[in-house]
Structures are given as structure tokens and as C-alpha cells.
Amino acid sequence: MTQARDYLVVDELTKHFGGLAAVEKLSFSLDRGQILGLIGPNGAGKTTVFNLITGFLPATSGRVTFRGESLMGKKPHQIVNQGLARTFQLVKPFPELSLSDNIRVACYGPRFMSQGLDEEAARHRILEVAEQVGLPDDLDQPASSLGHGDLRLLDIARALMVQPELLLLDEPLSGLSSIETQAIVGLIQALNQEGITLLIIEHKLKELMKVADRIVAIDFGQKLAAGTPQEVVNHPAVVEAYLGTKDSYASA
Amino acid sequence: MLANLKTPAQRHTAIFYGLIMVGFYFVPVFSDNFYLLSVFTTAYFYIIFATSWDVFAGYSHLMNFGHALFIGIAGYLTAFVDLHLGLPPLLVLPMCAVVCGLLGMFIGYLTLRMQGPYFAIITMAFAAVAYESAIMFSEYTGGEEGIPGIHPLTDSLIGDYYFVLVVMSLIFLFLLWFTRGRWGLVLKAISQNEDAVLASGINTAWVKIRAYSISGALCGIGGSVYAYSLTHVGPTSMEQVLSTTILIMAMVGGMGTITGPFLGALILVLFNELSRDMEEYRLLIYTVMVVVIIFFAPRGIVSWGQPIARAFKLGGKRGQAGS
Amino acid sequence: MKKLLAMMLILGLAVMAAGPASAADTIRIGLLAPLSHQVGEGEVNAAKMAVKRINDAGGIDGKKLELFIEDTEIKPEKAINGYKKLVMVDKVQAVMGAFSSGVVLSLMDHVARYKVPFISTASSSNTFGEKVAKDYARYKYFFRLMLNETDQVNGMVEFVDSFLKPKLNIKKVAVMAEDAKWTKLMGAQFVEQIKTKGIEVTDYIRFPFKETDFAPILSRVKNAKVQFLLEISAIADGAVYINQWHDMQGPPIGGCDTSAGSEDFWDKTNGKCMSETVFMYGAYDVALTPKTKPFWADYIKIYGKEPKYASGFTYDAVYVVANAVKAAGTTKADALVAAIEKTDYVGVSGRIQFKKNHNTICGSDGRPMMIWHQWQGKGQRLPVYPEKYATAKFILPAWWSVK
Amino acid sequence: MELIQEIIIFGTIKGCVYALIATGFTLIFAVAGILNLAHGTFYMLGAYFTYTLFYVLGIPLPPAILLAAVLVGALGMLLDRVFLKPMRSSHTYVLVLTVAVAFAAQEIILLTYGSQGMNIPNLIEGSVNLNGVVVSWHQLLIVAITAVVLIMLWLVLTRTRYGVATLAVSMDEDGARLVGIETEKVFNLSMFASAFLAAVAGALISPIMSMTPEMWNMPLMKAFVVVVVGGIGSLTGSIMAAFFLGWLETFTGFVISPKLTEVVSLVLLTVFLVFRPSGILGRRLH
């Protein structure tokens, strides 16, 4: 239905906060079905890129197109309804709602509602998604009772509920135990198998290299390198940017 | 709605409020004491005001400090329409609902981006503008003394009582239905994390505007009935102290539950009348209550339902009384 | 949850129990008054005084009077509720008092609905009488024992035209009135009538009760170079504008200022009210009727304060009702109304008779009338007009000279 | 042109009172993020305390005003310590609590002093003719006192340790804490200063406008307007906006209609909140 190449195109994207250039003329693209990793040191502007793509921040200049359509000037909820969902770096569930209600909220966007699905179908789908991401069985407990890892899963479940074609994950592995990390890596691969395209910000390069088809490295809002995982991590600019930081590939 | 009553606790809650409501309908059977009826009628008005406040402010946590605006606007509209056009209440009520609903939508649109204290100030400011205008345009509004002589709702006290009660019941039921469904869930989610709701593809701005509009419309109906019942409207119907009282009732009862503001309004009005001799101390007592509630029961009176029910061995292991 | 339910039940029962005491064999009179306003305080004191005197003298045909009081806070909604409570809970046979025409106007339809006679003793709107005249059957339960707007306008015009005009060489006046129903007609009629006397009105300003900044109004008046500023206020606090008037050195001021009708006004304004001339009625230390001066003295003896604007009228109203009950031999509303209509009673405020529209006959000698008092000396309020009752000479503000 | 002179003179007097009210309001908001709806209460208490000290205890007026302002300042600190400290971060809590305190204070004053207006005398009696405009010495004194108080505030904020700490906290609370500033102390002292300034304004204005238990409403609304128009958190902006509002209201009252003065400020408030929430000088709100 759409071309596989240039599924998501980020073209000379720029964001200035006052005098500070958070993102400067950043360009990259993502093909359908791919998993693209976005890496860079802390404060490199990765999350800003996510916020620009998903409409949470207005860009200063440049453009983003998804399936050939510009996303510029669109509101976050409109972008979601084009099939582009995201998670948050700081996990943001609804603490006082039950797990199932956390996921249920996403049922009430037009993307789900327009399919004419009723409450029964919604309930069915909630169970399905919860099982797929591996949430605890008791979906009536409030989200505030979950641990950090399960909250990540909950956030992903909520994003999956809108049935995205392209999923943006913001540091899905940070702060997780190794078992939890393995689970999410597995989940990412499974989702990709189902045909979901993924754009992932991640510090844990080892895990990211396992799943990513390509990687873009940025620093100070500018692109340092792009290519296969091996190419990027060995790129001199990337090595330089990472050396001396504890996030470097060598120590990961 | 009954389909949603999965747990025993929810069923007990429904029975509890159902009993109260039925009880209201039987009050005149036991006594036609004017004083008793007027106390309950006052309580019904405050229930309408507090629950309609709750559907927006309680759920979204955007503190509306100027809810009385809708009471006043509806009151003056009622006075004008009643005295100059002579329309019957059954036509005037929907009219007030529409006007206040549109007003709520307009204010909601203007204040969309505002957070926390800014939202509080602007709601106060809108009510204050209306209040000052009512005093300023005294040619039309009667100034500080307001407009007397609005025709009563019915010919008898009991008729008035039932009229107000029916309106209150309908509004209460509507709000329960509205908030127990997807709107309530989305509003609650917005109050906890608006970004995540946006990221779920929901136009949160529109949801909030709509909720504010509904809040205004329902309060407008209440305001209109209030004016009919007093046969008078004046700027006091938009006073800051009224807005604050509504807010305190809702908070004491428990925000974001509808049932909480219902109980809060009922209990505080009854308390107020019982302590008539202490009327001067009313706001003082309210203030102390607010402090106590915020520190010891931040979720309001409704949150006591659960432990009380547990003490009486009602409800399930994770009963959600009052929600 | 049962606990809650039990609590509610107890609350409900307690409310029911708070109902009326059983009707004893007394004549029950209700009083509506703004308790925290000095006019209301004067109404309450006067009514209590009258009730006590009648009871001390043996009551009416052996029956004692019983007084029930409700606060209006000068708010229509409170007054309506208060009237309903007096009528339905306390089961009074007549109600009197209230203050501010806006409040009384909102009561009129309830008086018509519940048919318990009401005597208004502190409100002047002409609308009351017009309503009674227009729909007698409906509004006949309503009486006013006080001067109405027309009476007061006539008094003010006469004072300005025949007394002040030659003294102050008046060519131009300005009017400032609080924005209330009772001043609506009064202000407009005064403006109209004073023009016919060859006096120009440069400004007719209406201000809200709670106005605190009078600089703009006083500036306009000063710049228009008027020789007299007519004030009309009762609910507003006169001290606010009198202080500013003094500090801005405005033109001679006078008229109706209820707050200046209280002896503490001098202290409240720190003496800045010096030369303000206000009219009083109902009670003053003047021999209008044989009862007027003794009432003034007795009131001060009992309460340690001077009577207020409405005190004399409220005092007389109690007697009017008591006499009517006696004459009618019943407390049934219609008979009581008929008896009140036939009233011819010399009270402390003058000789009381009601017109067909249930207004009091006012203005001429021996009837309820306005007597102008000026703040002078070291805080005395002395009668200066009509000459017959005057004990002091009219003075000018210190900064004013007649050109 | 007497009218222009009048507008300038009376507008300046008004502006001074608004500046006294609003600087304190801005200060505590900038420093502690507290939107204090009980700010007008300090103003009211300033007037009533002065009245009591002057009439009941017989203290001469100038020290009575000073003492009243110090007492109100202490009450402000008490309010901050007892009620606000535990939940300062919750805007909802602060708003509801302070508005509840404001109404409670109104009730207490009503019960103690009654609803009728009360007055204290001018600091200096008598009036002066300024080129055709008669103004009382008291009003001129308000201008002088405001100037002195604001200059002192400026000196305190720029020349003292406390002041520098206050400015630091208002810019970056966490940063200030990191460099060892005791933020709690700063909050507390700011609350004192805020309440003190409001109380002075209340005491100075009450001979002109009388005091009533409802008098706290006006200054609160004016503080909103001044703070929003001047830019939230900007002291300079607040002072500028205070005079702007004073002149604008006076112009409206003198030239257009006295009836419009109250509405002008409210309309200004709503327009700014909706269309320019950062005010004239304020930082942009995200």
C-alpha cells in the first residue's frame, strides 16, 4: 500500500530553544519494516527528535514526512491516528487507573473507534495486548503498584493499543534488569515480525545492535554517522563522542 | 450502567445512593415542614452545582474557581426570558443549558493551554467580569439588588420541591452515566498524564472543552432552577464565595467521583442548617474542614466508604466504594 | 456505609425536630431586618422596645406580643427565605421592617402569595404603592409606614430651593446617588423638579454600594463648579465618600446619607463630616408630636445609642399592628388589613394614616416629615431646617466661600 | 489642563498602592511558586491591626502601622510554615487552602469588628492645592512611603545576603539549594516581606477607602492584574504594570465613566491571560 523505502523521512529538521540549537538540520530516513536505532550521548537531542516527529514540539524548520505525507503542523493526536505511536523516556502511565484502564484509554482514540469495535472487542484486545507484552495477570491492580519494568511494558501496551504501523520507543531498556531487558528485546523482535516498523532510542548499544537494522548517531542535535550498527559504532566521530563516557560501546 | 457493577462493592455503592435518592422522594410524605423542605431543596441545588463542577474540574484537576459564573448567567437569562418573553420553565431550562454550554465551550477554548494557577485565576476573572458587569449595567440587571419577581416554578412548595429534585436526579444520573463510561476514563487519564493521552491518539483539548461545556450546561440548568426557586436573581449568584463554596463541597466530598461532590454538598448543607446558630462561623468551619480533609483524607469523604464497608463486611476484597 | 446512612438519618430527624414550637396563645409579630446594618439594629431595638411596653401594659386583650426576628443581610434571597420562615415556621400574624426597596420589592410577591400582612418601615420606592393601587386584591396585605420617594423628593427640592439657594447662591448642583431601586425615581425626579426652579444640574451620577474611589466623581463635580452636591445613599457607607469629599475639598454636600444619621458618624469620619446636612425622619430630638422627644430620650436610656433612621417607624408599626388586632378582635389576615387601613394613630414619627395605596400620608406638620440636620461644632447633629424646629444656624465647609 | 494633571496625580497615588500590593504577591510567587489567594487578607489585616493598635491600645499611628505590618508579616510566615510548607508543590492545595484562609479571615474580622466600614485618621491631616488639584497630605505621603519602601526592598534584594539568595532561588530553586542556600528560610522571609508590604498598603489606604471585612477582594484582583500584565515573576514588570493600571483606571474613571474602572482591570487581566500570558516583561510560559 505504501512504498517500502522512505517510509519515514526526516529532512533538515531543526529545533531552537531560544539561542540553543537542540536539533540542527538533522536528516535521516527509515524504510518500512525496518528497525532504526537512534543513539547519542545524554543531551544529544534524541528525545527532542521524537517530540518533533510526534508533534509534541513544533519544529523551527525542516520537515518530517510519513508515507509521503508531511507531519508538520499536525497535532500529536492527529499523528497518532496516522499510525505512528510512541512511548516515553520517563514512563508515563496513569498511576491511579487500573492496568486495563491504562490500556483502555487508547481504545478511545478515533483510530480504534473508527473500526467500529465495541466494548467487548476492546476488552478482548486489551487482554491480547497485555499478554503479548507480558503484563502481570491481574489487570485490575492500579498502575502505581507496578515496578519500573512492568511500567515500561504498560507504556508499550498502551502504545500498541492504537495499532500503530510505526512505533517510536524512547529508551525502552533503561533501568531494567537483564531478564526484563531480554523480554523487551524479544518483544521488539516479535513486533517487527508482525510488520511494525520501529524507531528506537537506546543507550544499551549491545542490545540495540542485536535488533536494529540501521543506526543513526547524533550529538549536539547533529548527525554524526548513519549506517549499519557495525559501521556506526566504529565511526571515528561516534567513538570520539562516546569515549570517556560510561555509555560507550566498549563498556556496554 | 448496571452492567458495570461487577464487584459487590460497586453494587453496595449503587444501593447506597439509590436509597438516598429514593429517600429524597419520600421526604414530603413524612413532613411538609417548610423549613425541612427548603433545607433539602438548598442541598439539591448545591448537589447540582458541585457535581457539575466535578465533571470538569474534579476529573481534569483544572481548578475552576469561577463555577458560579454559570449560575449567574443562567439566572439572569431566566429572569429576562421569564419577565419579558414569558416562556415556561421547561423551555427556559434547555435554553440556559445551551447558552451556558456554549459559554463553557468558549471559555474552555480560550483557556486551553493554561495550567494550574493560571487556569484558576482566569476562571475567577471571568466570573468577576460577569459580577462587575451585573453591577455596572444596573439599567438591565438591577445592579446590586438584582431582578425580583421571577415567576415561581409551581404553585406550591411541594411542587417546587419535586421539580428541583427531579432536575437534580436527572443531572446526577446523567453525570454518573457520563463519567462511568469512556469520557470519565479519558478525563481521569488526562488529569494524570495528558501527554500519554495525546500519544494515544485522543484530542485532549476537545475532550476538555467538551467536559467544560457539559459542566457549564448542567450548572446552567441548576442556576435557572435556582433563580426560579428564589424568584429573584442578583450578582450574589456569581460571587466568589459561592464558587469557593462549591469547590470546597466537591473537595470535601471527593473530587473526580461525582458521588463525592454529591455527598459533600448534601452533608455540608445539612450541617450548615443544623448549626444555624453557628452560621457566622460557617466559612471558618469549612476552612478547617478543608485543611483536615486535605491532610487526612485527600480523596474526600467518599474514600471512607471503603473502610466503613469493610468494617461492616460489605464489598469485595478490593471494593471501590464511591467510584 | 451503614454508618453514613445512620448519620444521614439522624441528621434528617434532627432537622425535622428543629421545627416550630407549638403556637402559644400570643400575638406573633415578625421582624425582617439587616442585623449587621445600623438601620436594622435600629429596627430591632425599636420593635423590642414597643413590644416590651405593650406587654408591660398588659398586652392586647390579655394576649402578649411575641417578636420573631430574621436577618435579611440586605439580600433579597435571604429576606425571602426569612419571610417564608417567619410565616410558615414561626406562624407570625404580621411582619414588619426590612430595609432597601430592592429587598422589599422581591418580598412583595411572596407577601401576596402567603397573605400575611407586611408593614415596610425602611424603604421608599414608589413602586409599592403603585402595585397596591393597580392590583389591590393581590397586594392589599402590603403597607408602607414611611415617606415614599415623592415625599422625599418634595422635601429635598424645597430644602434646596427655598433654604439653600439664597444662602449658597446656587446656580448649579450635581446629584450623586447610590445605584439602588429606591433612588431611581428619586434621583430622576429631583433632577427634573430642581430644573424648574431655575437651577442647572451638571451631573447625575449613580455609584455602586461598594464604591471605594470617589475621586473621579468628585473631580467631575468640582470641575463643573457646582455650588451644592446632593447625596442620596443608604446602603452604601457614607463615610467613604465624605472622607474623600473633605480631603478633595468638594462643594457643600447634603441630602440623604443614612450612615450620617448615626451618632458615630463623626468619629468614623474623624470629624470630616462637618457641615454635611442630612435629612432625618421617624426619630429625632424634635417635638414633632408629643411622643417624639420622649421616645428619643427613652431609646437612648435603654440602648445607650440614638435611634436610627427607621426606628421611629418600626416602633409605630408595632403599635399600628397591636391596635389593629385590638380593633379587629382577630388576627385573621383580611380583617387585620381592614383594621390597619382604618389606622389613625399619633405615634413617635407623626400622625399615621394610610392612603388607598397603603402609603402613609406624609410631609405636612404633625405627619411624618423630613427634618434637616447639620453636623456642627464638636460632633453634634443639629436641626437647621425647617426653621420652626431649627436650633442651629447653617454653616459652610471651612474651605468654601459664597461667591 | 486640570484633567491631565488630575489623572497623573491620582493615577500615581493609585499606582503606588497597587505597587505595594503587587510586589509582595510577585515576590512570593517568583520565589516559592506560591499563588497566594490570601494575599488580600494581609492587606485587610494590616488595616484592622492598625485600627486596633491605634484605637484600642492607643499607640500613635506611625508606629501602629509599622507594628501592624510586622505582625501581619509574622502571620504570613506562620501561614507558610504551618499550612503551606507540607504541600507547597501542589498548586491545587495552595490555591484551595489560601482561598479558604482568606474567607475564614473575612469571617473572623466580621465577627470581631462587624460588617460596617471603619476608619483610621490620615497620617497627616489637611490638603494641599497642587496647581489646582486638591490632594490630601496623606495621599502624598503614600507616594513617599511607597518610594521609600520599594527602594528599601530593592536594596535588600541586591545588597544583602538574604536578597541575593532570594533572587537566586527565584531563578533556579534546585540550583540555589545545590550551592547551599537554605531555601526554606528564603521562602519564609519572602512570605514575611510579601505580607508586610500588603499590610502597609492596607493600613495606608484605609483612611481613604474605609475598611470592611470584604476589602481583601479588591487588592487580590489588582494583584492578579498587575502580576499578569507585568509578567509573572518580574518585580520590575509588576511595578511598571502597577502604575500603568493606576493611570489607566484613573483615566477611565475621570474621562469615560466612573462605573467602568473595576471592569477595565478585569478585562485587561483576561485579555493578557488569554493572548499574552507572559505579560510585558515576563518569561515565556511553556
- State whether residue C81 sits within 8 Å of chain B by CB: yes
Please name the residue ranges forming H helices in A7-133. Answer: 46-53, 76-80, 99-104, 110-113, 119-133
pLDDT digits (tens, 9 = 90+) for C373-395: 999 989 999 999 899 999 999 99
Q: Cβ–Cβ of C16/B273 closer than 8 Å?
A: no
Of C153, C176, C151, give the one whose Cα is nearest residue C282: C151
B130–chain A nearest CA distance, Å:
34
Q: Which chains touch C (3 or more CB pairs under 8 A)?
A: B, D
D37 within 8 A of D208, measured Cβ to Cβ: no
* Per-residue cell: C103: 429587598
Q: What are phi and psi of C60, to 5 degrees?
A: -105, 115
- State whether residue B305 sits within 8 Å of chain C by CB: yes
* Closest partner CB to C208 (pick from B34, B135, B231): B135
pLDDT of residue D49: 97
Please name the residue ranges forming H helices in B31-115. Answer: 34-53, 59-60, 68-80, 89-110
Q: Cβ–Cβ of B195/A80 closer than 8 Å?
A: no
Instruction: Sort out which chain C residues have CB atoms less than 8 A from D122's CB and list them.
Output: 247, 270
* Amino acid, res. D146: T
Q: Which chains touch B (3 or more CB pairs under 8 A)?
A: A, C, D
* Per-residue cell: C370: 423630613
pLDDT of residue B22: 93
Cβ-based neighbour number of residue C64 at 10 Å: 15
Q: Is the pLDDT of residue C117 over 70?
A: yes
Q: Cβ–Cβ of A109/B202 closer than 8 Å?
A: yes
Per-residue CA distances from C164 to A9, B31, C259 (Å): 90, 62, 22
pLDDT digits (tens, 9 = 90+) for D47-92: 999 999 999 999 999 999 999 999 999 999 999 998 888 878 788 8
Which of the following CATH numbers is that of domain C27-147+289-352: 1.20.210.10, 3.40.50.1360, 3.40.50.2000, 3.40.50.2300? 3.40.50.2300
- State whether residue B74 sits within 8 Å of chain C by CB: no
Residue C335: partners with Cβ closer than 8 Å, 6 or more residues away: C328, C329
Residue C352: partners with Cβ closer than 8 Å, 6 or more residues away: C145, C316, C320, C343, C344, C345, C346, C360, C368
Cβ-based neighbour number of residue B115 at 10 Å: 15
Q: Where are the domains of chain C?
A: 27-147+289-352, 150-280+370-389
- State whether residue B138 sits within 8 Å of chain C by CB: yes
Per-residue CA distances from B255 to B58, B101, B297, C400 (Å): 5, 21, 11, 63
Which residues, in sequence order, are bridge partners of residue C280?
Answer: C371
A94–chain B nearest CA distance, Å:
6
Per-residue CA distances from B212 to A161, A195, B60, B109, D277 (Å): 27, 41, 10, 9, 21
Cβ-based neighbour number of residue D180 at 10 Å: 7
Interface test mutation site (partner D, options B59, B126, B284, B289, max chain D beta carbons within 10 A): B284
Query: What CA dihedral angle connects C21, C23, C26 and C30, to 10 degrees?
Result: 70
Instruction: Sort out which chain A residues have CB atoms less than 8 A from B198's CB and list them.
Output: 56, 75-77, 80
Q: How much of chain C exceeds pLDDT 70, in percent?
A: 94
First CA to last CA across chain D, in angstroms?
A: 46
Query: What one-character DSSP code corresponds to residue C118?
Result: E
pLDDT digits (tens, 9 = 90+) for A24-35: 899 999 999 999
pLDDT digits (tens, 9 = 90+) for D151-176: 999 999 888 888 888 888 888 878 88
- State whether residue C100 sits within 8 Å of chain B by CB: yes
Query: What CA dihedral angle connects D131, D133, D137 and D139, to 10 degrees?
Result: -130
Which of the following CATH numbers is that of domain C150-280+370-389: 3.40.50.300, 1.10.10.10, 3.40.50.620, 3.40.50.2300? 3.40.50.2300
Q: Which chain B residue's Cα is nearest to D257?
A: B136
Q: Cβ–Cβ of B231/C209 closer than 8 Å?
A: no
| Chain pair B-D, CB pairs under 8 angstroms | 98
Q: Is the pLDDT of residue C20 over 60?
A: no
Per-residue CA distances from B2 to B8, B174, D38, D93 (Å): 12, 14, 45, 35
- State whether residue A58 sits within 8 Å of chain B by CB: no
Strands (DSSP E) along C106-211, which ranges?
118-120, 142-144, 172-178, 200-207
Tens digits of pLDDT across chain B (323 residues): 444 556 777 788 888 899 999 999 998 888 777 788 888 999 999 999 999 999 999 998 889 999 999 999 999 999 999 999 999 999 999 999 999 999 999 999 988 777 778 888 899 999 999 999 999 999 899 888 899 889 989 888 889 999 999 999 999 999 999 998 888 899 989 888 889 999 999 999 999 999 999 999 999 999 999 999 988 999 999 999 899 999 989 998 999 999 999 999 999 888 877 766 666 677 677 777 777 777 777 788 888 876 666 666 554 444 343 33
Whether the ω angle into residue C386 lies within 30 degrees of 0, i.e. cis, is yes
Band (C2; pLDDT cuts 50, 70, 90): very low
- State whether residue C80 sits within 8 Å of chain B by CB: yes
D159–chain B nearest CA distance, Å:
32
Q: Which chain D residue's Cα is nearest to B247?
A: D96
pLDDT digits (tens, 9 = 90+) for C214-252: 999 999 999 999 999 999 999 999 999 999 999 999 999
Q: Where are the domains of chain B?
A: 40-277
pLDDT of residue D1: 64
Q: Which chains touch A (3 or more CB pairs under 8 A)?
A: B
A185–chain B nearest CA distance, Å:
22
* Closest partner CB to C243 (pick from D114, D119, D254): D119
Band (C97; pLDDT cuts 50, 70, 90): very high
Residues 243-302 of B with CB under 8 A from C: 263, 266-267, 270-271, 273-274, 276
Helices B116-136, D217-230: axis angle to 10 degrees equals 120
C77–chain B nearest CA distance, Å:
6
Task: For residues C119 and C132, give the distance between their C-alpha atoms in angstroms, rounded to a whole number.
Answer: 13
Q: Cβ–Cβ of D254/C220 closer than 8 Å?
A: yes
Sheet strands side by side (includes C118-120): C64-71, C26-33, C94-97, C118-120, C142-144
Mean pLDDT computed over D240-253: 94
- Domains in chain D with CATH codes: 2-275 (1.10.3470)
Instruction: Sort out which chain B residues have CB atoms less than 8 A from D269's CB and list them.
Output: 121-122, 125
Q: Cβ–Cβ of A155/B318 closer than 8 Å?
A: no
B35–chain C nearest CA distance, Å:
7
Instruction: Sort out which chain A residues have CB atoms less than 8 A from B197's CB and list them.
Output: 105
Mean pLDDT of chain D: 89
Q: Is the pLDDT of residue C315 over 60?
A: yes
Q: What are phi and psi of B256, to 5 degrees?
A: 70, 30
Mean pLDDT computed over C279-285: 91
Question: Nearest 5 degrees, angle CA C228-CA C230-CA C235?
Answer: 150
Question: Nearest 5 degrees, angle CA D73-CA D76-CA D82?
Answer: 140
Instruction: Sort out which chain A residues have CB atoms less than 8 A from B192's CB and list them.
Output: 94-97
CA B62 to chain centroid = 15
Of D102, D227, D269, give the one whose Cα is nearest residue B126: D269
| Chain pair B-C, CB pairs under 8 angstroms | 117
Interface test mutation site (partner C, options B145, B267, B270, max chain C beta carbons within 10 A): B145
Band (C266; pLDDT cuts 50, 70, 90): very high
Q: How would you class A113 by CB atoms within 10 Å of its CB: exposed for 0-12, middle for 13-18, buried for 19 or more? A: middle
Which residues, in sequence order, are bridge partners of residue C346?
Answer: C351
Residue D266: partners with Cβ closer than 8 Å, 6 or more residues away: B125, B128, B129, B132, D221, D225
- State whether residue C21 sits within 8 Å of chain B by CB: no
Q: Which residues of D touch C (CB under 8 A)?
A: 2-3, 6, 10, 14, 110, 114-119, 121-122, 125, 127, 134-136, 138-139, 207-210, 212, 214, 218, 250, 253-254, 258-259, 261
- State whether residue B252 sits within 8 Å of chain D by CB: no
Q: Cβ–Cβ of B145/C181 closer than 8 Å?
A: yes
Residues of chain A below pLDDT 50:
1-2, 246-252
- State whether residue D262 sits within 8 Å of chain B by CB: yes
Residues 190-249 of B with CB under 8 A from C: 230-232, 234, 236
Task: For residues B159 and D189, give the distance between their C-alpha atoms in angstroms, rounded to a whole number.
Answer: 59
* Per-residue cell: D131: 496647581
pLDDT of residue A8: 92
Chains C and A touch (3+ CB pairs under 8 A): no
